[in-house]
Structure formats: structure tokens, C-alpha cells
Structure 1
């Protein structure tokens, strides 16, 4: 077995067809087919079955692909580390962030990282579930993650600061003149909430219940920026990390009483390379506990 075969199998699983996988990999279709057949022959199992919607991994195939993804990710990191020099860093850095975290800080840090290492390829995705982020970290599929909590050891987890949670009101809301909104004053308000399996919705639900508020739901959204915009138009109020408020909506943001915040923890892979180390250093330079009043 070879890493090339692993990469081909992962591409077929992602694209659902050999033709699309070949286009993604910029290779000839027969080459992909041959590599997959050779891999299945060597393993003695069928990795894919053909369905009306395309090629789908078998049960054994799914288990194999999980391990193949770990191997391919480790190979990419090894190549990046081997090529790293004083003035050059190439390869791929995979960064995941819990939804709504570091919306102001992470782009600045990544921009500085890319300016320092212009040949470094950075892939970033936002994950609504902290539990899924933790699972991906423990599986070795992420190079770097930002989240509120994790099961990693102290050598892997770094507390950067605390992210304040703020309420977003609609224009002309009855609490708009208050410098700080008492959560009890929002009794009976409809709320713009998040997907049911997201960590942020779990936080919102816990905060409401802890303060004796019924979680009346006006809408559910998948992104914090969408929640802010819908709240701004009067659909309901919402609760988001302060840094997740898009520019232009700051005047609708209020801190809450009692004050709410969540820790921001950076988790790096155990064998962290120079790219992860550099990003961690840049994020340490960012301000994480900036009072809302300083930018409203």
C-alpha cells in the first residue's frame, strides 16, 4: 500500500466517482481506477459499492478511510516540517475553530502567518460542535483548533483568554438605552437560536434556563453572523461571542448581567511543527478579553 493509493481512495470517497476524483487529482481516470483496484486486491476487501448516486464506501471501506485520512494528514505535516527553513515554510496547515470563536483575532493572525510564510497553504473550517472538534483533535486530523473546552493534556492545550458573550438587540428595542442588559429583563423575548447540535445553542439554552427564562425560539440559524443580522432586524434577540459581531452592528450589542464568558483554548497536535508554533505565538499576541464598551 502507498500514500498515493490512500489519497486516491479518499478522493473517490469525497467526490463519489472515479471521474470526478481524477479531475480533482489532475490525473487520468484509468490511473485512479487501477490504484483503487490494486488497493482492494491487496487488502482483500471491497472498499466501494456503486449506487444510483455514485460510489459509496462500504462499512469496511469507511473504517479504512478513517485510518487513511490520519496517514495522509501525518504525511503532509511531515513534508511541511522537513521543508521548513528559517525563511521558508511550505505544506498544509489545517485549522478548525468552534463556531463564533476568534472571528476578529484568527483572521489577523492567519494573515500575518501567510505574509511570513507565503507558500504555506492554510485550510480553515468552522465546526459548530465542540465535541466533534475534540474528537477530530484526538484522531490526529487537525493541526490546530480553537475551542472552549477539550480533553487534551496541558502540553497540547493553551488558554489564550476569555471570549465575552453579548446580547444583540433589534433597532429600537426597549433595552437599547441600557448600558448592560439584565438577563431577567428579556423574559418573554423570542430568541434567534442555533442548530440543535451546536455548542453555542447549548450555551444559550443553559444561560436562559439558569436565569429562569423560557427559551422561546423565533428562528434557528447555522452562522453567528446570520443570527446577529436577523436579531438586528427585530426577529428576536440573540447571544453570541463578542468577536462574532459583524462590522456595522456594534451599536446593537450589549454586555449582559450577570456577565458571561467562555475560555478560548488553542489545541495543537502533539508533534507540533513550525507552522502551528508560529500561529500559536501570533494568537497569543491578540487581545481576547477586550471589553465590549471599548468598541461599541
Structure 2
């Protein structure tokens, strides 16, 4: 088996056909077919099944491809590190962000990184599923992740960047837009635009609603913060999102909440990270991040929502 075969198999799985995979890889179609057949013979299994819509991985194929992705990512990182010089970086950097975190800061940092190192390939995806995010972190597939808490079992160390303050998004003409800030208790009876049940963002909303004695009517569940903001703006319901996730053109519909709601932002990288991850971390530190707002409105002074970073996770400030 070779890394080239792994790359071919991953391309076929992503594209759904040998033809599309060959075009993406800039190789001849027979070469891809031959490498896949050779790989299947060596493994003694069938990796792909032919369906009316194209090639799809079999059960054993999906298991194999998960490990192949780890191997290919590790090889790319090793190549990038070996080729990294004083003035240039090449290779691929894989970044993920927990939904809603760093929606403005991460693109700015990545744009600066690309301007500095134009040959560096950057792959970014937004992952709302916490369990999947932690699985990828444990496997070492990710180079850098933005998250609220660090997986204690993973091979990553965390660097505290700041916090995300949450704001409520109201519809055009909503009665509460007259206020400079919205007390959470005033949202009683409001319908809510919420997020996927297994997402960390919906976990924040669920805790806020519960802690403030609110029994919400859920009118919609979405998988993207921008969608939640736009639907709330049209009057479908209210929603609660990190302030940096509010798209341009909707700021007039946003109000801070009282008591304040916030969530820490942690950049997770491996110990002894390579030059690409280190450069991105430095650029993220240069971005403007909120500090956790001072908690008010509780007799015990506790914030409405806060996810403390476990000391055992090795999180560093700044």
C-alpha cells in the first residue's frame, strides 16, 4: 500500500466517481481505477459499492478511509515541516472551528496567513458536532481547532484567546429593539430559532434558557449561525449567537443580554506544533477578542453561562 493509493481512494470517496477523482487529481482515469483495484486486492476487501448515483464507500471502506485520512494528513504535515524555510511555508494546514466561534477573527487571521505564505494550502471546516470534533482531535487529523473547551484525552494543548459574548437577534420592528440591552426574562414566551441538538451552540442556548426559567417554543432548528440570524431577522423567532457570528447588515437587530452570556475561545494545537500552526496561532492572538463580561444579576455573582477550562487540559492564557 502507498500514500498515493490512500489519496486516490479518498478522492473517489469525496467525488463519488473515478472520473471526477481523476480530474481533481490531474491523472488519467485508468490510473485511478487500477490503483483502487490494486488496493482492494491487497486488503482483500471491497472499498466501494457501485450505486445509481455513483461510487459510495462500503462499511469496511468507511472504516479504512477514516484511517487513510489520518495517514495522508500526517504525511502532508511532515512534508510541510520538512520544506518550511525562513520565508515560505508549503503544504496543507487543516483547521476547524466549533460553530459560531471566531466567525470574524478566524477569516482575518487566515487571510493574513495566506498573504504571508501564498503557497500554503489551508482547509477549513465548521464542525458543530462536539463528539466528532473530539474524535478528529484524538486522531490527530486537525492542525488547529477553535473550541470552547479542550478534549482532555486528546494530544492537543490549548491557548486561551479570549471569549465570545452572546447576543440576542430580534426581528425587524420587535418591541425589545427599543432597549439598549435585553433582559433574558423579557424573552419569556418568545419563539426560538435553535441549532442542531448535538451542537455545542444549542447546548449554550439550552443552558441559558433553563437557568433563566424559560420554556421556549422551538420554531426551527438550523445548522448555521448565519441562517439563524437571517431567520430571526425575518421575524420567525429570536435566537442567541456569538456576536462575531452576526452577518453584516444585521447589527441593528442585535442586542446584548443581561445577565451577560459568554463562552471562552481556545486555540488547540499539538505540543511542538509546526511553523504553519504556530504562525496561525500568533495571528489569532493579534485579533480582537472579547474578555468574559463581568457577571451581574446573580446573588452569587456567577455568570449565566460559562464553560471553565479544566486545568488538566493544559490551557494557557494568551
Q: Distance in 1 between matches of 2:140 and 2:110?
A: 21
| Alignment match, 1:99 | 99
* Partner Cα separation in structure 1 for residue 252 and residue 179 of structure 2: 12
Residues 34-45 of structure 1: matches in 2 within 5 Å? 34-45=34-45
Larger mean Cα displacement after TM superposition, 57-66 or 135-144:
57-66
* Aligned equivalent of 1:111: 111
Give, in whole Å, the separation in 2 of the partners of 1:16 and 1:114.
Answer: 30
The residue correspondences of 1:75-224 to structure 2 (distance < 5 A) are: 75-152=75-152, 156-224=157-225
Structure 1 residue 270, shift from structure 2 partner: 4.1
User: Where do 1:24-39 residues align within 5 Å?
Assistant: 24-39=24-39
Offset of residue 271 of structure 1: 4.8
Following the alignment from structure 1 to structure 2, what is the Cα–Cα distance between the partners of residues 63 and 170?
45
Give me the whole-angstrom Cα distance separating, in 2, the residues matched to 1:155 and 1:17.
35
Distance in 2, Cα, partners of 1:71 & 1:276: 18
Tell me how far 1:159 sits from its aligned partner: 1.2
Distance 1:276 1:167 in 2: 33
Give the distance between the partners of 1:28 and 1:191, measured in 2 at CA.
Answer: 52
Superposed CA offset, 1:8-60 (max 9, x none): 11112222222222122111111111111211222222222323332222232
Distance, in Å, in 1 between the alignment partners of 2:45 and 2:234 is: 56
Distance change >3 Å, CA 62–CA 164, structure 1 → 2: same
Q: Is the 8 A contact 2:160 2:264 kept in 1?
A: yes
CA drift at 1:184: 0.7
**CA 1:232–1:277 in 2, change beyond 3 Å: closer, same or farther?**
same
Tell me which residue corresponds to 1:262: 263
Q: Give yes or no for contact 2:188–2:216 (8 Å, CA) kept in 1.
A: no
Name the SS for the 2:56 alignment partner. strand
Q: Which residue of 1 aligns with 2:303?
A: none
Equivalenced residue count is: 292
Residue of structure 2 equivalent to 1:245? 246
Aligned with 1:266: secondary structure? Answer: strand
2: CA distance between counterparts of 1:155 and 1:31?
Answer: 38
Runs of 4+ in 1 over 6 A off after TM superposition: none
Counterpart contact for 1:137–1:269, Cα < 8 Å: no
Task: Compute the displacement of 1:214 (Å).
Answer: 1.1
Aligned-pair Cα RMSD in Å: 1.8
Which consecutive unaligned segments of at least 5 residues does structure 2 have? 294-318
Q: Gaps (5+ residues) in structure 1? A: none
Q: Deviations over 1:129-187 (max 9, x none)?
A: 22221211111111111011121469621111111111111232222122221111110
- 2:161 and 2:202 mapped to 1: Cα distance? 23
Cα distance, 1:290 vs structure 2: 6.3
- Secondary structure of 1:160's counterpart equals strand
Q: TM-score, normalised by structure 1?
A: 0.93
State the 1:279 CA deviation.
Answer: 0.5
8 Å contact kept, 2:130–2:198: no
Q: In the aligned structure 1, how far is the partner of 2:130 from the partner of 2:180?
A: 31
- 8 Å CA contact retained: 2:155, 2:270: no
Q: Distance in 1 between matches of 2:224 and 2:63?
A: 31
Question: Compared with structure 1, are the counterparts of its residues 10 and 155 closer, same or farther at alpha carbon in structure 2 (3 Å cutoff)?
Answer: closer
- Report SS of the residue matched to 1:234: coil
